[in-house]
Each structure stands twice: as C-alpha cells, then as structure tokens.
Structure 1
Amino acid sequence: MIQSVVCQRPPIVLRSRDAERLGQLAEAAAQRHPATADFLAGEVARAAVTPDGEPLPGIVCMDSELTFRDESTGKEKQVTLVYPPDADVEAGRISVLTPIGAALIGLSVGQSITFETPSGERRSLTVLSVSEPN
C-alpha cells in the first residue's frame, strides 16, 4: 500500500474539474491498481479545491510541466503530469496513476512529500519548478 508519512503531507490544491476527474479515475482503477488508486483518492480528498478558471501559478496541475528532485538519489527530473492514456515515460509524460504522479499532484514549488511505494520503499520528492499547462 502506498502510504504518506503524516508529518510529510503538505497542503495541496486542485482545480475543481481535476479533483472530480481524478476521484473518478481512482475509483475506476481500484481493482487493477488498488494501492495507487487508494493513495490518489486520499490526495484528492485532502486537497483544497479551487474554481476551474483560477490561475494556480507554481502548483502541479494536470498537464503541468515540472521539475522535481528525488531526495533519496539527488537526481532531478523534468516531466509532464498526464492522465494514463497520454503517459509515455520515454517522452517524460508520467501518469497521475503512478505513485510518483499521485504524490506530485497539487504540490507547489518548494514543497516536498514523503510516501511509501507498493514495494515498501520510502520516497521523498521536492518540486523545484512548475509551468502551467497551455
């Protein structure tokens, strides 16, 4: 099961349409990917939800391009956060229905989150930069 470490769960923000769609995605994926779907559902449930038209500069939204650092390796990665059908790891397009994607959604620049992967590995990610989707 993917678990967030309680002291490492920063506040997150989602647009209304993303919160609704991500909740539906988590529910639909519960049978195939129970741990990740449960983690994503928990993130959606705890998020502050804002109106769709409100700008969210510096916050990881769907289709945002972002750079994050994996604190266990020190490596930085630049990715675009997408829905599962648009995922292409080699092109840097990661699905929100992965442990890393679910952890990043809603974070803002400078925030870090620590979580446990389905294999029991503890990961900590820090958002370094975010470009809003076009």
Structure 2
Amino acid sequence: MTQKPPRKPKIVVTESDLERLTGLATAALERIPEVAEELLNEMDRAKVVSPKQMPADVVRMGSIVEFDSDSAQHRRVQLVFPGEADIEQGKISILTPIGTALIGLTAGQSIAWTARDGKKHTLTVKTVEQPSPSLEKASA
C-alpha cells in the first residue's frame, strides 16, 4: 500500500501578491520550471483576500519568518522577490523551493517541500513579522 503525501495546509494571499507572483512564475517557467510550476500551484490553491482582510500572521512578500526545518534547524529569513535576494542577509527569493513553500502559511503551520536536489523536507513556521509600511512600499 502506497502512502499518500500529506495534505498541504490552507494558505492565504493578497490579491496583489497573487497577481505579481503568478506573473513572476509564468515568466520563470522556461528557466526554472519546477519552482515556477510549484509557485503557480500554490497560487491556484490559495484563498485570495484583500489587503485589509489579510491576517497579520500570514507569510507574504516582505514578511520576516522564523521556522524550524528538518534540514536547516531554526532559521529567520525575509521572503523577497528575486532581485532582492541575499542569502547572507537572510533574504530568500520566492523563486526558491523554500520560498515557495513559505508563502501564505501562518505561525504553527507545517509544509513538506522538495529541494532542488530532489530531497524531501518539512518546515514549521514559528513566527511571522510584517515589514514596516515604508519598507513594504519600497519593494512594491
């Protein structure tokens, strides 16, 4: 009997993140098809809300996230667009497997994700902080 993969947790994204991330993933389909397709799948299954309806503890673009992972132990990162990524500063791109896994999660949720080397991992979000409004506008 084959084991069914764990069900993915429910996720939430804003209308603007849905629009920008769908466009970004579509543009990246030829360069990095696995990650782009996974991001499109995440956007397809996400509950879409207006920015005013977005709970404060949901990972969105610009969020600072602390999580535990079976591969990287405890990490604190900021989820950013590809041009802003800087692993030394803890800024990870949405166009990475772990970045795609984080989008839309809330504190306490876990998700299984597959690294570029094909290895399966699990992460659990511990805390989510939103950037100050001035930082959010600068990256928009």
- TM-score in terms of structure 1 length: 0.91
Matches within 5 A, 1:35-114: 35-72=34-71, 75-114=73-112
Give structure 1 stretches of 5+ with no counterpart. Answer: none
3-state secondary structure, aligned to 1:85: helix
Give structure 2 stretches of 5+ with no counterpart. Answer: 133-140
- TM-score in terms of structure 2 length: 0.87
Q: Which amino acid aligns with 1:82?
A: V
C-alpha distance in 2 between matches for 1:116 and 1:33: 14
**Higher mean C-alpha deviation, range 112-121 or range 124-133:** 112-121
C-alpha distance in 2 between matches for 1:122 and 1:114: 7
Greater Rg over alpha carbons, structure: 2
Please list every run of at least 4 consecutive aligned residues from structure 1 whose deviation after the TM superposition is greater than 3 angstroms.
none
Q: Which amino acid aligns with 2:28?
A: A
- What is the match of residue 17 of structure 2? 18
The CA deviation at 1:6 is 4.2
Q: Deviations over 1:46-104 (max 9, x none)?
A: 0000012334211101000110111245x100000000011100000000000000000
Q: Which is richer in helix?
A: 2
Q: Is the 8 A contact 2:78 2:92 kept in 1?
A: yes
Report the aligned-residue RMSD. 1.3
The percent of aligned pairs where both chains have the same amino acid is 42
Q: Which amino acid aligns with 1:58?
A: D
C-alpha distance in 2 between matches for 1:99 and 1:121: 11
